[in-house]
Structure 1
Amino acid sequence: MQVIPVLDLLDGHVVRAVRGERTAYRPIRSSLASTSEPLPVARALLAASGARTLYIADLGAILETGAHVDVLAALRTALPGIEIWLDAGYADHASMRALFERIDAAGLFPTTTTTAATLVPVFGTESLRDVDALRAAARDGLAPILSLDRRCGALLEAAALEPTSSWWPARVIAMTLDQVGSDAGPDLATFERLRADAPAGTMLIGAGGIRDRADLAAAERSGANAWLVASALHDGRLGPSGSGPASATHT
Structure 2
Amino acid sequence: MNLIPVIDLMQGQVVRAVRGDRQAYRPIVSPLCGSSDPVTVARILCEHCATQQLYVADLDALLGRPAQVAVLRTLLQALPSLELWLDAGFSSAQAADALRLELGSAASRVVPVFGSESLASREALAQCFGGARSGEEGVLSLDRRDGQRMDAAGCWDALELWPRRVIVMTLERVGAGTGPDLQTLAGVRQKSPLTFIVGAGGIRNESDLAQARDAGAGAWLVASALHDGGLPRVRR
Q: Same fold (TM over 0.5)?
A: yes
User: 1:73, 1:134 → 2: CA distance?
Assistant: 23
User: 1:183, 1:69 → 2: CA distance?
Assistant: 31
Q: Give 1:67's aligned residue.
A: 67
Q: Among 111, 123, 129, which residue is 2:114 paired with? A: 123
**Which is helix-richer, 1 or 2?**
2
User: 1:90, 1:165 → 2: CA distance?
Assistant: 20
Contact 1:15-1:27 at 8 Å conserved across structures: yes
Q: Give 1:14's aligned residue.
A: 14
Q: Could you report, residue by residue, the CA deviation over 1:133-192 in whole angstroms, capped at 9, with x for unpaired residues? A: 322697286411000010011110243447241211110000000110010000001110
Contact 1:89-1:127 at 8 Å conserved across structures: yes
> Structure 1's 90 and 240: CA in aligned 2 closer, same or farther, altered over 3 A?
same
> Structure 1's 50 and 216: CA in aligned 2 closer, same or farther, altered over 3 A?
same
What aligned pairs does 1:192-207 form with structure 2 within 5 A after superposition?
192-198=186-192, 200-207=193-200
User: 2:145, 2:102 → 1: CA distance?
Assistant: 31
Q: Could you report, residue by residue, the CA deviation over 1:94-121 in whole angstroms, capped at 9, with x for unpaired residues? A: 11111111111xxxxxx2x7xx871100
The CA deviation at 1:34 is 1.8
**For 1:166, what is the secondary structure of its paired residue?**
helix
> Structure 1's 201 and 77: CA in aligned 2 closer, same or farther, altered over 3 A?
same
> Structure 1's 20 and 201: CA in aligned 2 closer, same or farther, altered over 3 A?
same
Contact 1:128-1:158 at 8 Å conserved across structures: yes
Q: Give 1:218's aligned residue.
A: 211
Contact 1:134-1:169 at 8 Å conserved across structures: no
Q: Could you report, residue by residue, the CA deviation over 1:31-82 in whole angstroms, capped at 9, with x for unpaired residues? A: 1222101000000100111112100001111111121100001111111222
Q: Moved runs in structure 1, 4+ residues, more than 6 A?
A: none
User: 1:117, 1:51 → 2: CA distance?
Assistant: 18
**For 2:29, what is the secondary structure of its paired residue?**
coil
Gaps of 5+ in 2: none
Q: Among 222, 233, 237, which residue is 2:226 paired with? A: 233
How high is the TM-score relative to the length of structure 2? Answer: 0.93
CA RMSD of aligned residues (A): 1.9
The CA deviation at 1:239 is 1.2
User: 1:136, 1:197 → 2: CA distance?
Assistant: 19
What aligned pairs does 1:132-211 form with structure 2 within 5 A after superposition?
132-135=126-129, 139=133, 142-161=136-155, 163-198=157-192, 200-211=193-204
Amino acid in structure 2 at the alignment position of 1:126: E
Contact 1:87-1:122 at 8 Å conserved across structures: yes
**For 1:209, what is the secondary structure of its paired residue?**
coil
Contact 1:20-1:177 at 8 Å conserved across structures: yes
User: 1:2, 1:162 → 2: CA distance?
Assistant: 24
